[in-house]
Amino acid sequence: MFEEEIEDTWQQSFLTNSTSPYFVTAAFLPLLAKAVSSPAKQVGTVINNASVSGLLRMTQNSQYSYNASKAAAIHVTRQMAVDLSHENINVRVNALALGYFPSEMTTGASNDDNQSNYDIEGFRAFMQSMGVKTVKRMGSPQEIASVILTLATNEFIWGTVTILDGGFTLNLPGNM
């Protein structure tokens, strides 16, 4: 179990999933903070890419580094949401925690048509094996875009982790 994770994978997961969002936000902070001083008095917005894996107390395929790095991304999001909410900065920070969506990681396909490349019956069997009854399919890019648009434009959403998983976490009592 533990021997499957190598240190390079662990470090790369944290660099990609939690370190990079922090430093990208820090690099763009002067630009984001200018929104509050604009004539429209807008609020700067950051949306971090999280995962339901960062909320679970179980691993999928012993992906300890992935789950831990996504949990760190969620925590960094919450910390930044507090620290950047001051009137002189006024930047909203939220995270989107995705469930199962077509990607190279979930389907093994590396092309743009991941949705058609996954085995729907295999996916349903996998969900059944985990006791998940609500998830009948993977999510779509359009569903992600819809939530991102809401997070980007609704200035009342502040410091949240929005779960978009088709009910996956709903079926996992005791795992969140």
pTM for the whole structure: 0.81
Structure tokens at 103: 């990607």
Cα separation, 146 vs 144, whole angstroms: 5
Which one-letter DSSP state was computed for residue 58?
S
Q: What angle is formed at CA 41 by the lines to CA 43 and CA 29, rounded to 5 degrees? A: 40
By residue count, the chain amounts to: 176
Structure tokens at 79: 């910390």
Q: pLDDT by residue (tens digit) across 124-154?
A: 676 666 666 667 777 888 999 999 999 999 9
- Please answer whether residues 91 and 34 qualify as being in contact, where contact means their C-beta atoms are separated by less than 8 angstroms: no
Cα separation, 81 vs 165, whole angstroms: 23
Closest Cα partner for 27 from 46, 40, 41, 49? 46
- pLDDT at 21 (0 to 100): 96
pLDDT at 175 over 70: no
- Please answer whether residues 133 and 145 qualify as being in contact, where contact means their C-beta atoms are separated by less than 8 angstroms: no
Average pLDDT score over residue span 42-68: 86
**Lowest-confidence range among 7-16, 18-27, 161-170?**
161-170
Q: Which residues contact 152 (CB under 8 A, 6 or more apart)?
A: 45, 47
pLDDT at 114 over 50: no
- The confidence band for 20, taking pLDDT boundaries of 50, 70 and 90, is very high
